[in-house]
């Protein structure tokens, strides 16, 4: 295989991200044009508003998600026909042709933060990741509403460009504050779309314990943020605007780009379950911002202690 040109892929990603951004901004999403990703809808097809009333869902998908993914896969694969492509809207659980492998792979979420997009809450983006041997090697995340572009290339650092201005290296603080313990942290965490069972119970317990006062056995973190997009959460941790991000249940396309940007900004990614190995498609993640290594390690250990004996459990 010819040598992989990460810079060229990064440049193409930026162009594709801007085209996707224009598509998102001209779309007028509403519940009427959205459905659910869950395949839990009935075999008959009542109007979508009625479907969503009968079968409430928190994992919305819009026609824009599908149209953007089509545009992205067409453009990326016409430039790199031998590379693999995994996209949120075309992923088939259990199908080996859409599973992550060691091959050079584009991993794409056409609209991350679809719920925000549907509600016109300004935290949605396209997330374009590229892995080689399952290692995130290029990442581009673009929030068109705020015109914020986050980019990273393995070994070459990561950056943010806001409103077409200067390209700033991440993290934004050149000498990040040392991390000491969770009590000084702003934490990104998400409810996710599954609202029942062990994962929902564990998330609720962990959220409570993170927020509670020390007198009540909590970590009393500065606060919790539910941004609604894993990709943007990771970008904010890379930038140093959030200290930590914990999520279970999201997918490789939600994290591949952000992972590259995070690591290039000195951050670390470990498992969202205590002591487990983290993988791009493992669906459980704990990201910590760039800081002193001992501080990052202390935060991971303290966070895992908050999780305790609990375990997030997701299929692949
Ligand atoms: C979303 C994630 C979000 C997570 C949701 C969902 P989508 O991606 O980024 O952080 O909590 O479950 O997976 O569906 O908007 O592309």
Tell whether 315 is covered by a domain: no
Q: Compute the distance from residue 287 Cα to the ligand 1 centre, in Å.
A: 16
pLDDT at residue 186 greater than cutoff 90? yes
Domain that holds residue 147: 6-169
Indicate whether 38 and 164 sit together in one domain: yes
Instruction: Give, in order, the Cα–Cα distances in Å from 66 to each of 24, 43, 91.
Output: 11, 20, 12
Q: Compute the distance from residue 248 Cα to the ligand 1 centre, in Å.
A: 10
Q: What is the DSSP string of 206-230?
A: HHHHHHS-GGGT----SEEE--S-H
Tell whether 203 is covered by a domain: yes
Indicate whether 29 and 96 sit together in one domain: yes
Indicate whether 15 and 158 sit together in one domain: yes
Indicate whether 89 and 33 sit together in one domain: yes
Distance CA 241, CA 267 (A): 12
Of 211, 213, 209, 231, residue with least CA distance to 308: 209
CATH number of the domain bearing residue 280: 3.40.190.80
Q: How confident is the model at residue 268 (pLDDT cuts 50, 70, 90)?
A: very high
Q: 41 or 100, which is more confident?
A: 100
In this structure, how many other beta carbons lie within 10 angstroms of the beta carbon of residue 53?
A: 11
Examine the fold and report which residue of 116, 147, 169 is the final residue of a domain before the chain moves on.
169
Tell whether 122 is covered by a domain: yes
Indicate whether 11 and 159 sit together in one domain: yes
Q: Tens of pLDDT along 246-265? A: 999 999 999 999 999 999 99
Indicate whether 228 and 261 sit together in one domain: yes
Tell whether 235 is covered by a domain: yes
Examine the fold and report which residue of 169, 192, 219 is the final residue of a domain before the chain moves on.
169
What atom in ligand 1 is closest to the CA of residue 109? 16
Amino acid 38: pLDDT: 46
Tell whether 153 is covered by a domain: yes
Pocket around ligand 1: residues whose beta carbon is below 6 Å from it?
Answer: 59, 88, 109, 112-115, 190, 192-193, 228-230, 247, 249-250, 254
CATH number of the domain bearing residue 53: 3.30.540.10
Distance CA 285, CA 229 (A): 14
Q: What is the DSSP string of 107-124?
A: EEEEEESHHHHHHT-S--
Indicate whether 164 and 186 sit together in one domain: no
Average pLDDT over residues 62-84: 96
| Protein residue with its CA nearest to atom 15 in ligand 1 | 113
Indicate whether 203 and 165 sit together in one domain: no
Average pLDDT over residues 197-209: 98
Amino acid 42: pLDDT: 35
Tell whether 220 is covered by a domain: yes
Indicate whether 21 and 149 sit together in one domain: yes
Q: Which has the minimum average pLDDT: 6-20, 52-66, 295-309? A: 52-66
Q: Tens of pLDDT along 107-158? A: 999 999 999 998 899 999 999 999 999 999 999 999 999 999 999 999 999 9
Distance CA 288, CA 246 (A): 9
Indicate whether 80 and 26 sit together in one domain: yes
Q: Compute the distance from residue 228 Cα to the ligand 1 centre, in Å.
A: 6
Average pLDDT over residues 49-55: 46
Number of domains in the chain: 2
Indicate whether 41 and 17 sit together in one domain: yes
Indicate whether 139 and 187 sit together in one domain: no
Examine the fold and report which residue of 147, 169, 191 is the final residue of a domain before the chain moves on.
169
Tell whether 177 is covered by a domain: no
pLDDT at residue 46 greater than cutoff 50? no
Tell whether 190 is covered by a domain: yes
């Amino acid at each position: 295989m010819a040598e992989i040109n990460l810079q060229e892929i990064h440049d193409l990603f930026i162009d594709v991200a801007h085209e996707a951004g224009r598509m998102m901004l001209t779309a007028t999403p509403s519940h009427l044009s959205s459905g659910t990703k869950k395949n839990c809808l009935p075999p008959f097809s009542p109007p979508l508003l009625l479907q969503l009333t009968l079968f409430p869902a928190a994992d919305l998908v819009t026609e824009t998600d599908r149209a953007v993914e089509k545009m992205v896969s067409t453009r990326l694969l016409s430039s790199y026909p031998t590379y693999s492509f995994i996209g949120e809207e075309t992923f088939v659980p259990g199908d080996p042709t859409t599973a992550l492998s060691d091959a050079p792979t584009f991993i794409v979420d056409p609209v991350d933060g679809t719920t925000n997009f549907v509600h016109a809450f300004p935290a949605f983006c396209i997330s374009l990741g590229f892995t080689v041997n399952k290692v995130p090697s290029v990442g581009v995340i673009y929030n068109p509403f705020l015109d914020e572009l986050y980019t990273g290339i393995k070994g070459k650092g990561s950056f943010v460009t806001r409103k077409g201005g200067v390209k700033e290296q991440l993290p934004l603080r050149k000498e990040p504050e040392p991390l000491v313990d969770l009590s000084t942290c702003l934490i990104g965490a998400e409810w996710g779309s599954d609202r029942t069972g062990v994962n929902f119970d564990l998330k609720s317990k962990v959220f409570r314990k993170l927020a509670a006062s020390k007198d009540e056995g909590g970590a009393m973190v500065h606060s919790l943020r539910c941004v609604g997009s894993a990709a943007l959460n990771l970008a904010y941790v890379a930038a140093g605007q959030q200290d930590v991000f914990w999520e279970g249940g999201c997918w490789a396309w939600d994290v591949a780009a952000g992972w590259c940007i995070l690591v290039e900004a000195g951050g670390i990614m470990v498992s969202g379950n205590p002591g487990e190995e983290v993988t791009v498609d493992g669906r459980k993640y704990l990201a910590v911002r760039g800081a002193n290594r001992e501080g990052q390690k202390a935060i991971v250990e303290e966070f895992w202690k908050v999780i305790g004996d609990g375990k997030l459990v997701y299929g692949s």
